[in-house]
Amino acid sequence: MVETLIKMGESITESMELEYRNNLSSIMRIEKDCLGRMEIPQNAYYGIQSRRAKENFPLSGHKIHKKLIWGMGLVKYACIEANLKTKSMPYEIGNALKIACHEFIDGKFDNEIIVESIQGGAGTSINMNVNEILANRGLEILGEEKGRYDIISPNTHVNMAQSTNDVVPTAFKIAVLSMRQSLIESLEKLLGALKEKEIQFDDIVTIGRTHLQDAIPIRLGQEFGAYARLITRDIKRINQAMESLNNVNLGATAVGTGLNADPEYIKAAIEELSIITGMDIKLAEHLMDSTQNTDCYVHLSGSIRTCALNLSKMCNDLRLMASGPICGLMEIKLPAVQPGSSIMPGKVNPVMIEMMNQICFQIQGNDHAIAMASEAGQFQLNVMAPVIFKNMFESIEILTNGVKVLTERCIVGILANEEECKKRVDNSIGVVTALNPHIGYEKSSAIAKEVLETRRSVREVVLKKGFLTEEELDIILQPKEMTEPGVAGAKILGLRTI
């Protein structure tokens, strides 16, 4: 009915369209492969191999990441264009497939990707799901029925001069590279926020800690400056690791020998891929190496894991520094973003920091899975690639998003509790260390012991014992001077004879 109305140019209501689609989904076509025959819904763009994979791997419901689907579309387009340039593919078929690729890249067929992210076969199910979609859409463009693989074949035409083993890894690298900018931008914004805090808190002196015990005075700005340097190194490491992904094995086909791939096709495909992605895509120097070894993924995952560990360490510090508000350290105040308890009124928890810690735990697990999968490859192919892809995408995505919200909802809004910081310094025995060059370690140690026993201040005990005058203590125990290299008070007092 709907088809008749379309031909007549009549308007179609939503209910009529829905009825038409429902009718189509109940109509089946028969497809066959080397294992036999299977019914496929007539309106489906996927085919028999996709259906088999869906039935074989009903694991978690986690579908292929959208970035990988997008990357597959780009790679397929480049390969079709290269096959047209080398006159290996009939123009009419190639042109129809290029149109199908454009639609695929735009996300029109994302719902037709029915295979799960973890699967056996080194990604063959991913590749064939894409091949079948493009073949059936190409057939539709030519006015033919879906499933007429004698006209456009998922293998003969869409997969011409290709293998899963060169197409899927190439698409994965492009997908990851496309995520690079967002990740680096989120880290750079965090870096900027930390540098601002370094300047903002430069004059605030608090007490440092080693072994979770009082140490010597430090400036709060110095702490945030240390975090900033940490993130600077993380950005550098991730950027360096990303660079290796520009080298792809497209044209290696099954095992890296390039069987069935004309050298002119390989050159054209790489050039086309560089143009349509805007990336500096290069052919790997050794195709067999690039096909079987996945150390570049391990390197990237490791740099992401290192970044997550650094962030988690920083967050642990911030969580402790903000502990309280009455019975903890409370040297800094974190922005309150949500109520913290369903039973305790007024409680506010450091939820953004807790989130970042959990992201770190997940990334560590992902990194371990990637490392094990990389090691598990044999001979000319690593068949564990799908689990590498799944975990890498998750690590990059949650790190990017986590850092973004951590910066916006926590770091930029951190305030210093100056009064509490001053109290920590004034009441700490750590300042005794500044007296060492003036009165010696033994006397300083005795002072520290008495301070702990009597709960009197360092100043009181020193004056009581007569080791230094009040004027000398005013100079030596200047908080900020104790946070810089050198002997506190030496320039003014000179060193007394110990």
Q: Which residues contact 199 (CB under 8 A, 6 or more apart)?
A: 221
Instruction: Flag the least confident range among 117-131, 440-454, 474-488.
Output: 474-488
Q: Which residues pair with 55 in a beta bridge?
A: none
* Spatial distance between the Cα atoms of 191 and 184, rounded to a whole number of angstroms: 10
For 394-480, list the strands marked E by DSSP: 415-416
Q: Is the pLDDT of residue 272 over 80?
A: yes
Q: Which residues contact 87 (CB under 8 A, 6 or more apart)?
A: none
* Spatial distance between the Cα atoms of 380 and 287, rounded to a whole number of angstroms: 10
Q: Quote the mean pLDDT of the chain.
A: 93
Task: Identify which of 161, 173, 137, 141 has the alpha carbon closest to the alpha carbon of residue 78.
Answer: 161
pLDDT mean over 266-295: 98
Q: Contact, 307 vs 272, CB < 8 A?
A: no
* Spatial distance between the Cα atoms of 97 and 76, rounded to a whole number of angstroms: 9
Pick the CATH number of 167-247+281-418 from 1.10.10.10, 1.10.580.10, 3.90.550.10, 1.20.200.10: 1.20.200.10
Q: Is the pLDDT of residue 8 over 60?
A: no
Q: Contact, 100 vs 8, CB < 8 A?
A: no
Q: Contact, 318 vs 356, CB < 8 A?
A: no
Q: What is the pTM of this model?
A: 0.90
- What pLDDT does 327 receive? 93
Specify the DSSP class assigned to residue 328.
Answer: S
Question: What's CA 37's distance to the chain center, in Å?
Answer: 42
pLDDT tens, 68-115?
Answer: 999 999 999 999 999 999 999 999 999 999 999 999 999 999 999 999
Alpha helices per DSSP H over 62-163: 66-85, 91-105, 124-141
* Class of residue 395 by CB neighbours under 10 A (exposed 0-12, middle 13-18, buried 19+): buried
| Res. 4 pLDDT band, cuts 50 70 90 | very low
Q: Is the pLDDT of residue 1 over 50?
A: no
- What pLDDT does 429 receive? 85
* Spatial distance between the Cα atoms of 215 and 227, rounded to a whole number of angstroms: 19
CATH architecture for the domain at 428-493: Orthogonal Bundle (1.10)
pLDDT tens, 282-300?
Answer: 999 999 999 999 999 999 9
- Site of tokens 């903890």: 328
Task: Identify which of 127, 135, 139 has the alpha carbon closest to the alpha carbon of residue 157.
Answer: 135
Query: What are the distances in angstroms from CA 176 to CA 187, 211, 370, 414?
Result: 16, 40, 15, 33
- Site of tokens 């590749």: 127
Q: Which residues are catalytic?
A: 341
| Res. 374 pLDDT band, cuts 50 70 90 | very high
Query: What are the distances in angstroms from CA 58 to CA 52, 236, 350, 383, 390?
Result: 11, 40, 38, 19, 16
pLDDT tens, 166-214?
Answer: 999 999 999 999 999 999 999 999 999 999 999 999 999 999 999 999 9
- What pLDDT does 24 receive? 55
pLDDT mean over 355-363: 98
pLDDT mean over 272-281: 98
**Termini Cα distance of the chain:** 105
| Res. 18 pLDDT band, cuts 50 70 90 | low
pLDDT mean over 223-231: 98
- What pLDDT does 16 receive? 62
- What pLDDT does 5 receive? 42
- What pLDDT does 457 receive? 87
Q: Is the pLDDT of residue 6 over 50?
A: no
Q: Contact, 473 vs 493, CB < 8 A?
A: no
- What pLDDT does 38 receive? 95
Q: Is the pLDDT of residue 489 over 80?
A: no
- What pLDDT does 493 receive? 62
Q: DSSP labels for 168-208?
A: HHHHHHHHHHHHHHHHHHHHHHHHHHHHHHHHHTTT-EEEE
Q: Enumerate the domain spans of the chain.
A: 2-160, 167-247+281-418, 428-493
Q: Is the pLDDT of residue 7 over 50?
A: no
pLDDT mean over 481-490: 78
Instruction: Flag the least confident range among 212-216, 234-238, 384-388.
Output: 212-216
Pick the CATH number of 2-160 from 3.40.50.10860, 3.30.70.2860, 1.10.275.10, 2.30.29.30: 1.10.275.10
Q: Contact, 372 vs 382, CB < 8 A?
A: no
Q: Contact, 269 vs 167, CB < 8 A?
A: no
Highest-confidence segment of 336-350, 385-399, 457-471: 385-399
* Structure-block tokens of residue 93: 């078929």
* Structure-block tokens of residue 124: 């063959």
What dihedral do alpha carbons 233, 236, 238, 244 form, nearest 10°?
-150
- What pLDDT does 408 receive? 98
Identify the residue with better confidence: 89 or 448: 89
pLDDT tens, 24-35?
Answer: 567 999 999 999
pLDDT mean over 2-25: 55
Q: Is the pLDDT of residue 153 over 50?
A: yes
Query: What are the distances in angstroms from CA 393 to CA 300, 425, 468?
Result: 11, 46, 62
